[in-house]
Structures are given as C-alpha cells and as structure tokens.
C-alpha cells in the first residue's frame, strides 16, 4: 500500500510487556456450543454472507412472531441467518472440530437491548462460549457520539448472567471496525481523520471493558485486523475511492462488512475461539470458495487474522506502558490518502514489531478538549516531528503545533496564533499536549 510518509522517527521502546504467543487447539470430546450475540455486524447484512451456511447454524430469532422484540422484521434481511457465524462453523468443520453454532442477532440494536429482550437465550447453562458484539458506535468516546458507559454496563450485565448460568462458560468480546461512512464524508464524527482514529477508539473501548471486567476470555480483534490488512496493503484504505488492486473490506453502504471483511472477521473469531491457526485452512478453504473469494485473497486474510490475534495486549496500569519492549514507534504525518502540503496535517504514532507487523496506531488529537490540545505538523517541513523517549521510559515526546488540520502554512504562523507544543504520549494511551 502506498503511503506518503514524512520524517519517520524510529524509537526502540524499553517499556511494556506485550509478547507474541502461539495458540494451540484444545482437545475435544463433545460438541462445543457457541452463541454469537450481536446485530448486523454479526449476521453480515448482505448476500452472500447473510444466508451463508444457515442450514448448519441455529438462528435463535428466526420464525418468531411479529410481536416478539427479537422478531426479524427487515424484508431486506431474509432469514434464517448464517452470516459470520456460518463462516466460522464451516471453518470448524474443516478443522475437524465439533462446534454447535447459534446466532442471536437483532439488527440495529445494542447489548443493552439484548440484555433486556434476549436474556432467556443468552443466559442458558448449556453455552460453552458466548461472543458479544456491541452496537458499532457505542464503544467510542462520547465526544464522537459513543456511549461507553452503556456498553460497559450491558457487557458486564451479560457476562454476569452468563456466568451465573454456567460458571465455566467463556465470554468473548467481538471488537468491530472503523466505519468509513463516519470517517470520509463531511459532517461526521471522524471527518478529516483516517480510519486509524476510530479503530483506536474501538480498540480502547473494547480492551478497557475486557481488562476492567476481568472475567471474560478475551477480545476477538476484528477491527484491529482490518487496520492491519489496510496497513500491509492487502485492503483498500478508502472505500469511497477504492484501489482496484486491493480488497474492499466494506460493503456498498461503507458501513457493514463486505464478503472479504466478513471473512476476515470469521478468521479472527475462528482463531480466537478455537486456537487453530487460520492459515492451516489455506487457499482452498470452502467458505471462501462459496463466497467467491479468490484463494490468494483468502490466504492474505487468514494471515492478517493470524498476525493480529497473536498480538497480546497488556493491561494498562499506572506503571506499565502500552508499548512492547523492543518494538519500534514511527511518527507518521498524514494518512497516506492525500498529498502532503504546508498546511497543518494530522499526526499518528504507529507501533510495529521488529518483524514489521503493525501492533497499533495512535491518532494524536485534532481538536482541543479540556486540557488536551490539538496537535498537528506541516506536511512539508524538514525540521519538525522530532520524537524522543522520556528518561523513565514511560512517555514518547513529540514537537508540533496547536492547530487544527488544514490551517495554512503552519510553520510560518506566529506562536501567538498557533502555539508550539511538546506532546506527551502517556503509558496508558492518553495524549497530553
């Protein structure tokens, strides 16, 4: 993927405790009963994913009367649904695993709605694994239109109900992806930002719930895998101006997953829940073939899922940084989608493993918010973007300007108009400027 990068600064980090680890498939004697709870980001919304492998999946809401709050009432989404759980089921079959897969999805609704209206399904003692997927914009900050408090409350209530019914059940959070429709058009919460920004917000929302709760089995990082596929050049960055040589993970509405996005999600879920390396499925994987995904594309998406699931995210604490010891931090000016100019340009810090795998991208703020200041740099200057590490190893320090993106000729403006800044990226992913 072509990116326009300026002033790359690499800093070897000596803090943090992230590591890579292989996952091994567990021994299995009886069918594993798994329930997927979510909305259209779980059932996939569009053909061919929506109805894929539906005969092998139990749709808990199919056939309910119209008076039921779980009634599937959208004629554009005919049931029964297979969706991403259907792809997951096909993968388990090919891996020689015995999984009984159920889906409890209600289009356009949140986990709070499921807690109120579907607890009779979710809180059954027979589930071995339950996957929870929240409304697409709820885990993001309130300043961007989210409601993390509602997400944390509902996810915790569901986890408690599941474990009250079966203390041995494993509960997973299914992290969703950045919405292009909230990013690229004007007047949206992430307008002017790359998809990295919403991805980072979703990542933080899901992982904060995981670590704060302490009783869930893990996070299936589908959204992070999308960004990894984009960063590695497998997938297109902007579906409104797609690169025909790359996979488009978004569907026609720039919101839901395409067949490629759904397949990547299924690969992430398959690896996270079963421990079986998705790369073992290979280019002849049956779900990919049925969905019209080319063998090379299937292999690339399997690889993206493998790499992302193998990134172990450490819990942020007051003394543990969110970066991995020995990894590389890179300053990036601009999102690679537009030509650089002398105007104020958004700044990002990306973390990579020594082998080149993207771990995370942190978007620096582009607007003042309380004590946090907008931070930008010129896209053409030759003396900015310096990055150093603090003496105690807990912070990255960057120089820049207090200006919103688009401010003209940023380097020549008076300091009284646009203050010069030293930004501090703190250990728990808090930007201070």
- Alpha-carbon span 289 to 287, nearest angstrom: 5
**Quick one: 338 and 230 in the same domain?**
no
And the tokens for 252?
């026609």
DSSP class of residue 27 equals P
The Cα 14–Cα 421 span in angstroms is 25
pLDDT in tens, the chain (433 residues): 333 333 323 322 322 333 333 344 455 579 999 999 999 999 999 999 999 999 999 999 999 999 999 999 888 998 999 999 999 999 999 999 999 999 999 999 999 999 999 999 999 999 999 999 999 999 999 999 999 999 999 999 999 999 999 999 999 999 999 999 999 999 999 999 999 999 999 999 999 999 989 999 999 999 999 999 999 999 999 999 999 999 999 999 999 999 999 999 999 999 999 999 999 999 999 999 999 999 999 999 999 999 999 987 877 544 334 566 678 888 888 766 667 888 888 888 877 888 777 777 777 777 665 445 677 888 776 555 567 776 656 567 788 888 877 788 776 666 556 677 676 665 433 333 3
In a domain, 26, yes or no: no
Q: Are residues 227 and 369 in the same domain?
A: no
DSSP for 128-187, please give it: SEEEE---TTTTS-GGGT--HHHHHHHHHHHHHHHHHH-TT-EEEEEE----GGGTSSTT
Whether 201 is covered by a domain: the verdict is yes
Domain co-membership, 81 together with 203 = yes
Asked if residue 107 and residue 49 are part of one domain, the reply reads yes
Same domain (yes/no): 340, 303:
no
150-154: long-range contacts, CB 8 A cutoff, minimum separation 24: 150/110, 150/112, 151/110, 151/111, 151/205, 151/209, 152/208, 152/209, 152/212, 153/112, 154/110, 154/111, 154/112, 154/114, 154/115
Same domain, 92 and 205: yes
Residue 400 is assigned to a structural domain of this protein: yes
- Cβ proximity of 52 and 101 under 8 Å: no
Asked if 266 and 91 count as a contact pair (C-beta separation under 8 A), the reply is yes
pTM of the predicted protein model:
0.72
Structure tokens at 78: 């005919």
In terms of domains, do 249 and 385 share one?
Answer: no
| Residue 302 contacts residue 342 (beta carbons within 8 Å) | no
> 269 and 343 share a domain?
no
Nearest CA-CA partner of 335 in 347, 324, 325, 323: 347
Same domain, 282 and 339: no
The bridge status of strand 396-401 relative to strand 387-389 is antiparallel
- Domain hosting 240: range is 32-309
Domain final residue pick, 281, 309, 337: 309
156 falls within a domain: yes
Q: Out of 247, 274, 309, pick the residue that ends a domain.
A: 309
Instruction: Specify if 3 maps to a domain.
Output: no
Q: Is 22 a member of any domain?
A: no
299 and 324 inside one domain:
no
What total number of domains does the chain contain?
2
User: Where a domain ends, among 269, 293, 309?
Assistant: 309
> Are both 232 and 265 inside the same structural domain?
yes
Q: Do 301 and 366 belong together in one domain?
A: no
Q: What single-letter DSSP state applies at residue 16? A: -
CATH code: domain of residue 159: 3.40.50.1110
pLDDT value of position 8 = 29
Contact partners, residue 47, CB within 8 Å, separation at least 6: none
Q: Is residue 229 part of a domain?
A: yes
In a domain, 24, yes or no: no
């Amino acid at each position: 993927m072509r990116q326009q990068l300026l002033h790359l600064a690499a800093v070897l980090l000596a803090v943090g405790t992230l590591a890579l680890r292989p996952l091994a498939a567990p021994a299995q004697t009886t069918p594993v009963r798994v329930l997927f709870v979510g909305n259209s980001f779980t059932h996939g919304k569009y053909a061919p994913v929506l109805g894929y492998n539906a005969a092998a999946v139990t749709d808990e809401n199919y056939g309910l009367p119209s008076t039921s709050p779980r009634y599937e009432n959208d004629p554009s989404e005919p049931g029964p649904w297979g969706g991403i759980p259907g792809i997951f089921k096909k993968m388990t079959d090919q891996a020689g695993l015995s999984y009984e897969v159920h889906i409890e999805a209600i289009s356009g609704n949140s986990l709070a709605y499921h807690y109120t209206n579907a607890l009779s399904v979710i809180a059954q003692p027979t589930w071995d694994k339950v996957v929870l997927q929240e409304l697409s914009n709820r885990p993001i900050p309130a300043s961007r239109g989210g409601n993390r408090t509602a997400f944390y409350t509902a996810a915790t209530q569901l986890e408690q109900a599941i474990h009250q019914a079966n203390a041995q059940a494993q509960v997973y959070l299914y992290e969703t992806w950045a919405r292009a429709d909230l990013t690229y058009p004007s007047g949206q919460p992430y307008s002017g930002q790359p998809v990295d920004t919403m991805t980072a917000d979703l990542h933080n929302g899901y992982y904060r719930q995981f670590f704060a709760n302490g009783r869930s089995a893990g996070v299936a990082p589908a959204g992070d895998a999308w960004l990894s596929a984009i960063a590695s050049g497998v997938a297109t960055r902007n579906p409104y101006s797609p690169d025909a040589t790359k996979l488009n993970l978004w569907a026609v509405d720039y919101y839901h997953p395409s067949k490629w996005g759904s397949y990547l999600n299924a690969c992430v879920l398959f690896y996270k829940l079963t421990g079986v390396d998705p790369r073992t499925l290979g280019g002849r994987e049956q779900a990919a073939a049925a969905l019209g995904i080319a063998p090379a594309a299937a292999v690339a998406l399997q690889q993206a899922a493998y790499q992302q699931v193998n990134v172990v995210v450490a819990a942020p604490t007051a003394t543990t940084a969110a970066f991995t010891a020995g990894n590389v931090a890179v300053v990036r000016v601009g999102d690679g989608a537009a030509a650089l100019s002398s105007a104020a340009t958004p700044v990002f810090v990306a973390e990579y493993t020594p082998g080149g795998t993207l771990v995370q991208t942190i978007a620096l703020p582009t607007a003042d918010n309380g004590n946090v200041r907008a931070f930008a740099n010129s896209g053409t200057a030759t003396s900015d973007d310096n990055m150093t590490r603090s003496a105690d190893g807990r912070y990255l320090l960057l120089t820049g300007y207090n200006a919103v993106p688009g401010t003209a000729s940023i380097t020549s403006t008076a300091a009284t108009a646009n203050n010069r800044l030293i930004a501090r990226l703190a250990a728990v992913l808090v930007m201070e400027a």
